[in-house]
Amino acid sequence: MAVERLTLADIDVAFVEAFLDHLAQERKCSIRTLNQRLAVLHAFFRYVQSEVPERMLQCQKIMAMPLRRHVQVPVAYMSKDELTQVLAHPDPTTPAGRRDAVMLSVLYDTGARAQELIDLNAHDVRLTTPAQVRLLGKGRKVRVVPLMDATARLLRDHLRENDLDRPERGHLPLFQNRHGGRLSRSGLRYLLHCHVQAARSEVPGFTQKISPHSLRHTKGMYLLQSGVSLEIIRDFLGHVDVKTTQIYARANLEMKRRALEKVAGESPSAALPSWQQSKSLLDWLRSL
């Protein structure tokens, strides 16, 4: 039906369901997007029922439509062997390989989002003790993240090699493509994909799909396994709400296993008595 011919009477629960299905199946919209659209419709029909009371039943049926539930996707993170192989794969004998080695190390060490990494300029890095990097996150919120010594050494060599350690060149991109411009997100994904594919042959069972965000998840998981609190991890990763950070606690099978081992020692180990071996109980049951 053409939009200009659409009337209020045409919009019912079935119509809205068909609209949401179209968004999901044809336009490949996420559950979050579907729920945003449905929330707008809820608000619209809340207004309509106050202005057109004779449509109240129609409005209430649409307003009663529940939001669609999110499917909880497990956090994709790498094992230590997988991470080691990926970080070690770039060829240190070539300029591109040295750049990739620094870039992947910074991506993991800082837990940065892909956009945060490629937005880095040379002046965002401070290598005096304590070494740190300044990240510009979502909502243009700035956070300062510490750098491990090994990553700081790699960055120092990278700045020197690319003539980025001079103050007048501090505005230039920290990681550049072969044309000297800022690396793109698709370029970062491609480079990571190449190194991951090469690392797969070194690690049996390394089959999961890895993206730049996987290194961020990996950092979050290892911080949690090291005993770092969710509040500190939240601040480190730049999450607004600690609820977002809780995905690492839910996904951490190793921590669940340790928790189960602790309570296992407190569980009764003796076998439960069998009712068939209790003569008094059997006599009582026969008397019923």
- 145 strand-pairing partners: 133
**Is 216 an annotated catalytic residue?**
yes
- Give yes or no for a contact between 164 and 122, defined as CB atoms under 8 angstroms apart: yes
**Is 179 an annotated catalytic residue?**
no
Find tokens 């800082």 and name the residue: 110
**Is 213 an annotated catalytic residue?**
yes
Instruction: Determine which one of 216, 217, 219, 234 is catalytic.
Output: 216
Instruction: Determine which one of 98, 158, 219, 239 is catalytic.
Output: 239
**Is 209 an annotated catalytic residue?**
no
Q: What share of the chain is helix, strand, coil (3-state, %, to 5)?
A: 60, 5, 35
Q: What are the strands, taking DSSP E only, across the chain?
A: 125-126, 132-136, 142-146
**Is 113 an annotated catalytic residue?**
yes
**Residue 248, class by beta-carbon neighbours within 10 Å (0-12 exposed, 13-18 middle, 19+ buried)?**
buried
Instruction: Determine which one of 113, 158, 195, 217 is catalytic.
Output: 113
Instruction: Determine which one of 138, 243, 256, 257 is catalytic.
Output: 138
**Is 89 an annotated catalytic residue?**
no
**Residues belonging to the chain:** 288
**Residue 50, class by beta-carbon neighbours within 10 Å (0-12 exposed, 13-18 middle, 19+ buried)?**
exposed
Instruction: Determine which one of 77, 108, 222, 248 is catalytic.
Output: 248
Instruction: Determine which one of 123, 126, 134, 213 is catalytic.
Output: 213
Question: Which residue numbers are catalytic?
Answer: 113, 138, 213, 216, 239, 248
